[in-house]
Copies of this chain bind each other. A is one copy, B any other.
Amino acid sequence: MKPSLPKGVRDFKPDEVDKRNYIFDTIRSVFIKYGYRPIETPVMENLSTLTGKYGEEGDRLLFKVLNNGDFLSKTNPSLLEKKDSNGILHSISKRGLRYDLTVPFARFVVQHRNDLAFPFKRYQIQPVWRADRPQKGRYQEFYQCDVDVVGSDSLMYEAELVNIYDEVFARLGLEVVVKVSNRKILAGMAEAAGISDRFMDMTIAIDKLDKIGEEGVKDEMRKREIPDSSIDSVLEMLKVKTLGGLESFFQNTDIGKKGIEELKTFHSYFDLRQSTNEVKFDITLARGLNYYTGCIFEVTAKNVEMGSIGGGGRYDDLTGVFGMDGVSGVGVSFGAARIYDVMVELDLFPKDNRASLKTLLIAFDEKSHLYAFDCLNKLRNAGINSDLYPSPTKMKKQMKYADAIRVPYVILIGGNEMETGNLGLKNMGTGQQEALTLDEIISILK
């Protein structure tokens, strides 16, 4: 039997896990400093929790888990005869795999509402599953990394979350731009242009500005039958680069004024801290408007072509669908897989990986092998990631192993070394070798 994996999922090898953990550990340490706490929800949720939350396509892309035991026993025979897959679904499957972290988080908040103190600040780093057609760079199992605060509408949190973006990417050494806007600004634009009823048509067009340019946006709005005068008005507003510049357009739109006010409040908090990265108002940002109701954010990496590597915003009603109203929240997420790819491309992972081996001991015979194991214990006791080749086989074979595992130092031990106490420390990068005592080696490798 030839081993294989289902399409769309993959193994992570040691180097990959180390690199990914480096990203997650960095992000996690910032979350913790900002007072966010971890939660984990189970991989399997009730299908009733998941179904209908992600639109029709989402329902289709949910992975469903077959009921255990004699799963057909309660199925309607006439549906079986018709081979009605959809019809029998709920009779043979009551569980599904987590599709994102937001719906399980909402369920969690409602289910544990009496045990939580609000505002509740949580982060969650877990994989999710989607039955998308597998293709290059797109998998059916992938990690999401979300941080949210619910139970407060304070814009302090918007500032805090952008600070988190700034600090995480500064620590990762990844230069980014954080774009900031507000759904109410977009609503104000629509109102100012006299097309409040065409909000979605307008924002779908605006969202494409980067890709299709001003003329393209114009065509898109025309195709959607937005009047020319409104199109001109929208395009004029799209040229605005600052909040102040919008005020003259927003004289007669309360929601637009509210949007400006919210972004000003955001800035009153945000501007207190010196950012490493560029954070800018971007009136063309039109992300997640199916659920965001206030501020919206998007992060893109500089110096590399790679769409968004993070995003988020304010939502006014996270938990209404589970019967708990009036819970406002704001959150952002980190696109872990893309951040990984960007960091590989820009060669940003640290060369000195604290999770990998520092030295491999190599012994020449049985007696020195035991002696080497004693040295190994001492190296490990000193906190140095160390290993010993398991048998005193041919030197060539042992060195080949050292090369294969890319260990930076090898320590050579034979009868002579045991006698003198001077071991051979070989730097695998330079090839240089020195005779040193174990204590000397420990102080070099530490």
Which A residues are closer than 8 A to B by beta carbons?
A: 1-6, 9-14, 17-18, 21, 32-35, 37-46, 48-49, 60-61, 63-66, 68-73, 75, 77, 80-81, 83-85, 88-89, 92-95, 97, 106-108, 110-112, 115, 117, 119, 121-122, 127, 129, 131, 140-141, 152, 154, 156-157, 159, 163, 268-269, 272-273, 321-323, 354-357, 360, 369-370, 373-374, 377, 380, 383-388, 390-391, 401, 404-405
Contacts and interface: CB of A to CB of B under 8 A. Distances in A.
A163 B68 contact: no
Nearest to A121: B387
B117 A401 contact: yes
Given A1-B48, A269-B370, A34 B405 contact: no
B42 A141 contact: yes
A268 B3 CA distance: 38
Contacts of A64: 65-66
B65 A65 contact: yes
A interface majority secondary structure? mixed
B72 A84 contact: yes
B72 A63 contact: no
Contact of A14 (B17, B39, B356): B39
A11 B112 contact: yes
23 contacts: A1-B48, A2-B322, A5-B111, A6-B42, A6-B45, A6-B95, A11-B39, A11-B41, A14-B38, A17-B37, A33-B384, A34-B387, A42-B141, A60-B69, A63-B65, A66-B89, A70-B83, A72-B80, A80-B81, A156-B373, A156-B388, A156-B390, A272-B370
Contacts of A1: 48, 321-323
A83 B85 contact: no
A404 B117 contact: yes
A428 to B, nearest CB: 14
A115 B13 contact: yes
Given A40-B11, A46-B4, A117-B401, A377 B163 contact: yes
Nearest to A156: B390
Contacts of A42: 5-6, 9-11, 141
Nearest to A83: B72
Nearest to A269: B373
Nearest to A127: B43
A72 B81 CA distance: 10
Contact of A92 (B17, B44, B66, B269): B66
Contacts of A83: 70, 72-73, 75, 77, 80
A355 B73 CA distance: 49
A369 B355 CA distance: 42
A73 B85 CA distance: 8
Contacts of A357: 35
Contacts of A159: 373
Contacts of A322: 1-3
Contacts of A85: 69-73
